[in-house]
Every structure is written in C-alpha cells, then in structure tokens.
Amino acid sequence: MKVFCEVLEQLYKKVLLGVTLENDSHDYIFYLNPGVSDQDCSTATSLEWANTYGIQGRHQPISVGVAPIAVAPACLKTNSLMSSSREVMLLQLTVIKVMTTRILSIKTEFHAKEKYRDIIKILLESAKVDSKLIYMFQNSDKLLCHMAAQCLALLLYFQLREKITLSNSWIAFCQKNLSEYSESNKAIYCLWTLTAIIKEIFKDSCSQKTEILKQFLTHFNTVFEVFYNSLFSQHFENCQDTSKIVNILMCFLELLELLIASRIYLKLHFTCQRILFLKPSCMLEVITWPIQAFVKRKVVIFLKKCLLFKVGEDLCRGSVPPLMPPDRHVAMDMLTLANAVLQAVNSGLLKTLSVYGKHSFFGGDEVQPGCEHIASPDHVILRAASLVIMKSLEIKFQNCSSASEMKVDLQRFMSELLTFLKPHLQPSLQLHNPCKWLSRVFIEQDDDMLEAAKASLGIYLTLTRGCEATESLTQGKEMWDHHTHENGYNPHCIFLFFLKNIGFDPTVLLDFLISSETCFLEYFVRYLKLLQKDWDKFFTICNNFDATESKYDISICDCVPSLVQDQSTNRTIPHHLTAPHSHIDVCARHSWASDAPSEPLKAVMSKGTDTMCTSSLSSPRASQSLVDYDSSDDSEVESTDQCLANSKQTCLHQQATKEIQDAAGTSRDKEEFSLEPPSRPLFLKEFDTAFAFDCEVAPNDVVSEVGIFYRIVKCFQELQDAICRLQKKNLFPYNPTALLKLLKYIEVISNKTMNTL
C-alpha cells in the first residue's frame, strides 16, 4: 500500500505540472482505476480491485524509482494518512480530474496531452470508469460523491469534445432518475453533473460549442420537460423531507438558467430550452409555496435575469459569448413570460413575498445570544421584484397598440408596486415626488437602477407615442403629465433623482460611460434624445424640484458661497428660472409642490406640443451595440463592443477624472464673484463629491441651495469637455462623436434658455 500511494502521489505531481509521462498507458490504469465494493458503495484500493479484474496480472506496477519533483503546488497528506482506501480513492479521482482538465487546456504541451488522452480513453473503454463513478453516487460520503460528480462531468465533456459516443450508462441513469420527481440524492447529483457539463461547454473556447451542446441536449430534450412538470406539480407542504425538494429546486434552477442562456447565446432550438416560457405559471407558483425566503428570492432573481437577457452570466466561469439579437421566437416567449408575471401580480403575488427575514452573513443566519436582531427589509428582493414588474410592463407595452389599455395596466401595476414598496421605504414617499421610489429602492445597486430607469423610459416613450396619436387636446396632455408623476415613471424626475444621488458629479457619469458593466450608455443616449424634444417639461420640473425643496426646507447647508456668476452670460442666474415661451404661470407649475403632504403629488407641465422622441433601441442589452441610434443623422460609425477592453479601464478612468478636475479648476479660475448676494446662490464654488451624502439620507432628502437646472447644465458641460479631451488624446474607448453631438445640442438649447431670462 505504501508503494502504491507513493506512485500515485508522484503521478499527481507530474500531471499537475503537465509533465509528459514515460511509461505505457496501461501501467497508469492500474493506479487510476477506482475500486468500488457493494457494501454502502465503500471504496477499495486499486490493489484489491485489480485482483478482481485481473489487471495486476497483465500490467505490473510502475517502478517508483522516479526522480522527485522539486516543486509541489499542492500540499499532499503524508503516507501514514494515505493508508485508508477513502484517501486513495479521493487522490485517484483528483488525478483523473486534473488529467482531463489538462487535455482540455490549450496550454498543455502536445505530447503530454496525447499521453493523457490515451490514458483517459482506456479508463472509459476498458475500465468502465464512468459506470463506477455513477455507482459512487450511492455512497454516504458526500465528499466522495462530489468528487465523483466532478470527474464524471469532465469525462462526459471529454467524450463530447472527442466525438466519442456518450456513455450509455450515464444516459440511462439520467432518464431513470429524472423521469419523475424523487427525493433521492441521485437526482441531485444528476442535475449537478448536467449543469457542470453545460458550464464546461460555455467555458470552452472552441468554435464547435454549438454543435457539442446540440449533440448533448439531443439525449435529454424530453426528460427535462418531464422533470419540470413533475417537480413543480409537487405540494411542498406534503413533502416528507423539505430540504430535499429545496436542494433539487436550486439545482434545477441553475440548469434551467443555462438552458435558456444556451438558447439566447448559441441559437439552439430545443423544447427543453423553452419549458419555462411554455409553462411560466409553474415557476411563479413557487413564490406562493410555504418555502424558505431564500428560495423565493432565487426564483425572483432568476425571472429578473430572464427578462433582462442576463441568464448564465453568474454561472459561466468563462467569458459569456456575445449576445446576439433575439429572434422572433425568443421575443414571443419573453412576452409570454411578461404576461404571466403581470397576471400573477394582479392575483396578489407580491403579497406572498417574504420581505422580512433572517439576513445571511458569512457566519450564517443565526443571531448569537446577547446580540440584538434588527429587523429590516431584504432590499435584494425589493429590487428584483420591482425590476421584474418594470421589465414585464415594458415588454408587454412594446407589443400593445392600445394607448388606453396601456394606461390602465400601468396605473394598476404601478399602484400595486408602490403599495408593496411603501411600508419598506423610510421615510415614506408621501412627502415626495412618487418618482423618487426608483432611486430609493435601487440606491445600492447601480446596474439594476439603470436597468429600471431604462425600462421606465421605454414605458414612457411607448405610452407617449400612443397618447400623442389619440389625445391631441391640451387637457389630455395635462392629464397625461399628471399620470406620469402619479404613477412614478416620469423620466425627467427619475433622471434628476439619479443625478442627485451621485452629487451631480460628471466623473461618475464618465465612469458609467466608459464601463460596459451597466446599460448607462444606452439609457443616457435615449434620454438625451428625449430631452431635445422635451426641453420645456424638463425645465419646468427643475423649477418644481427647487420649489419643493424650498417649501419643505430640506436644503443642505447654511454656509454655501454667496454667489457665482455664470461666465457664459456674464450675469447672475436667478434661482426661479422660467421656461421660455411657456404658456403657464410659475405659481401654477408649482401647484404639485404646494399641496398638503398627504395629497397626491401633481405636476402641471408646459403645454407645448413638442413631439416626443420616438427612438426605441431594439437590442435587449447594450452589449450588442453600446449605442444604437435610430436616426441616420446620428448613426456615426460606432465600434464600441470591440473597444471596451478591460485592461484599459483603470488608467482610462484615472485620466478621465483628471481631465474633469482640470476642466473644473480652469472654470473656477475664471469665475467672478459679486458682492451683492442674491436670495439663493446658484453654483457651489467648491463642488466636490464629499458634498455628499449618506445613501439613506442626503441624496434623497437634502439638496444644495444651488438651482438644480444650473447644476445639471454645469455637469453636462464638464462631461462634454472631458470626453472631448479624452477623444483628442485617443483615450476614449469608443467613438463618442454621436454622443458629443447630443450633448452639444443640449448645451445650445440650455444657453438659449439662460440668455432669454
């Protein structure tokens, strides 16, 4: 046994380093062939197993007189601890796993890879190692079962890569254990292994991954659908061991997510990839089960990923393939899912969500004796549920032609959402613009916040086009404007709250623009195009913000510099700015701000008949095309996907920050201060991110006494200057010409506004 362990240990070290093996391949089979006995699937050493199969008589053990390897990357147990058959078995499985990984790696030397490949093929064909690994799933030793599942997944993927017929024993094992719901561990290991194989396919850099996955799914297309129906037809309260169904459900959710991802990224069309969309109500019913809160959270997050086309991003260890435009069938399936979500919400789904519960930490979720447990809502579930509803509404409205139907649906579902959120947002939304809900809910998660803002903007644009086609009267326009505020989706309010959250800091906007981790570029472009057409309404809302802050006395400081002149007009900008050519009195425009706090907030907007921006980006995510301009005027050459290199991000952001700080410093040097203070100052002399802001209080409840309109214009100007400087130095990660044209136009109309005052 000691000699056996020494040889196996030396073999492990060699394979770990990718060294070419000298002996005949069959010699290594003697040491790698695992032994399995019938009693509780207990392990036996290969010495015992070899006698059974007659291998020892054919192939003698390898001589241990090998030169020791100086560098051992991993710590191995001493020979005294290797005496047990369990330890030998674990090391055998580890060597098989590392050897298979070496074969699949492009970094392994050719001759070494060929030797490893030959050994693995012999293990599969002669030793039937795949059948032995499947048999190990019955073992009560969880570590051994887990290692067996890891090895089996790699070996099965090796068969797929090498175009070897997939193990019949494995196919039969899966079809048997997934043909109906079972609380046995076999189903869990079966699901885990299937998931691991698909992860390996995604991770692989070979060009044939689509064909490999197609070959794999052919064997399991029907059985996945059968298992889906069987699992979700269970009555949770009747299950004998609820932990088993929870484990199976969590494993199956991962597998289901990868199946959907493979459909979107690899353009495959199997029924098993559509089972969620064919029967979405089954998945939604899990939220109503009397099950642990973390399971409901997992389901809601899974639905969010599906609607955002982000499935598979967290599960694939390798780089996710570039997202292709969704085909007609995927779009229809997403519409089916969105309708099912909204129908469930209408039936009271939000009332079944567990918002309060135990918080999970690194040490677990149990509160130690003597420690106080502070009850607080689960903001992850609040964000996910909010985003699921917003995306569902956006998808539904994109396929709806009736403006009146959309307005009724929006009012109903936004009322449901705001009612659901209201008890968990402190302070309450009653004293503020209802549009503030978005920045309050998503303050801690910028990628979700921008997705929600983009969805809200998409809803607004779709409804605006429908309302403009049917409601031409001024009274209809005023009611429409009131509707956008009352239901919390006015795009100008949402954007202003977003800027307040980041302290009007242009460096933050620039950071978002050069990052590919959020959809900010797509959202920002769409909003700027709307702003061109909707300037008077934006301007009026800025005044309403200032009036509200003045009424409720929530300005941040008493020690703001007294006055700053605007250098472009060489005169002081008054605080209460009036929209030029507007047909409504400023006092009337402030009516929503002066209502009693308990009354619904109203915003009477300017009555101009500006046509709303009708642009609508067809791509589900900005990764397809970071800027997808709809008009030919703006469709300059954009090669954004290829330019966003990760290696450039850090130095680029540092340079961008420096550019903005330099621009701000130059601007401050030119400013002249008046000795006569106005009623309220307009622009902070030292504008800094420290102006800021505790995420729970300051950005939402406190604002500078500087007029918000002027601060936004200043922020846009500094952003534009920084982008121009970076572009001249060839430091911007993509061609920003079209974006700069939009910002330049905003600068022109803002200057006209200030010059007419």
In sequence order, which residues have a C-beta less than 8 Å from that of residue 167 and are 6 or more positions away? 124, 130, 131, 155, 156, 159
pLDDT of 243: 84
pLDDT of 594: 32
pLDDT of 18-31, one tens digit each?
999 988 988 899 89
pLDDT of 554: 52
Give the torsion through C-alpha atoms of 242, 245, 250, 254, to 10 deg: 180
Asked if residue 750 belongs to a domain, the reply is: yes
Asked if residue 300 belongs to a domain, the reply is: no
Q: How many domains does the chain have?
A: 1
Q: What does the alpha-carbon distance between residue 431 and residue 597 come to, in Å, rounded to a whole number?
A: 5
Asked if residue 712 belongs to a domain, the reply is: yes
Mean pLDDT for the chain? 75
Asked if residue 495 belongs to a domain, the reply is: no
pLDDT of 372: 58
Q: Which residue do the tokens 């048997």 mark?
A: 176
pLDDT of 279: 93
Which has the higher per-residue pLDDT, 95 or 469? 95
The answer on pLDDT for 480 being more than 50 is: yes
Q: Which of 3-12, 59-68, 465-474, 630-639 has the highest mean pLDDT?
A: 3-12
Question: What is the model's pTM?
Answer: 0.76
Asked if residue 664 belongs to a domain, the reply is: no
pLDDT of 377: 83
pLDDT of 566-605, one tens digit each?
333 333 333 333 344 333 333 333 333 333 333 332 332 2
Given CA atoms 652, 655, 661, 664 in this order, what sign does their dihedral have? negative
Domain that holds residue 737: 503-553+706-756
Which has the higher per-residue pLDDT, 468 or 10? 10
Reduced to 3 states (helix: H, G, I; strand: E, B; else coil), residue 573 is coil
In sequence order, which residues have a C-beta less than 8 Å from that of residue 406 and are 6 or more positions away? 397, 400, 462, 463, 466
* pLDDT level of residue 6 (50, 70, 90 thresholds): confident
Q: Is 730 exposed, middle or buried (0-12, 13-18, 19+ CB in 10 A)?
A: exposed
Q: What does the alpha-carbon distance between residue 646 and residue 521 come to, in Å, rounded to a whole number?
A: 17
Question: Left (φ > 0), alpha (ψ -120 to 50) or beta: where does 267 sit?
Answer: left
* pLDDT level of residue 658 (50, 70, 90 thresholds): low
Which has the higher per-residue pLDDT, 156 or 629? 156
Asked if residue 591 belongs to a domain, the reply is: no
Q: What does the alpha-carbon distance between residue 537 and residue 612 come to, in Å, rounded to a whole number?
A: 11
Which of 6-10, 75-79, 439-443, 690-694 is least confident? Answer: 690-694
The answer on pLDDT for 645 being more than 80 is: no
* pLDDT level of residue 627 (50, 70, 90 thresholds): very low
The answer on pLDDT for 369 being more than 50 is: yes
pLDDT of 666: 44
What integer is the mean pLDDT of 233-250?
81
Asked if residue 532 belongs to a domain, the reply is: yes
Q: What does the alpha-carbon distance between residue 125 and residue 185 come to, in Å, rounded to a whole number?
A: 27
Asked if residue 576 belongs to a domain, the reply is: no
Greatest Cα pair distance, the chain, in angstroms, is 105
pLDDT of 728-757, one tens digit each?
999 999 999 999 999 999 999 999 888 876
Q: What does the alpha-carbon distance between residue 236 and residue 245 come to, in Å, rounded to a whole number?
A: 8
pLDDT of 438: 92
HSE-CB at 280 with a 13 A cutoff on CA atoms is 18
Question: Left (φ > 0), alpha (ψ -120 to 50) or beta: where does 600 sit?
Answer: beta
The answer on pLDDT for 509 being more than 70 is: yes
What integer is the mean pLDDT of 117-131?
92
What integer is the mean pLDDT of 691-697?
32
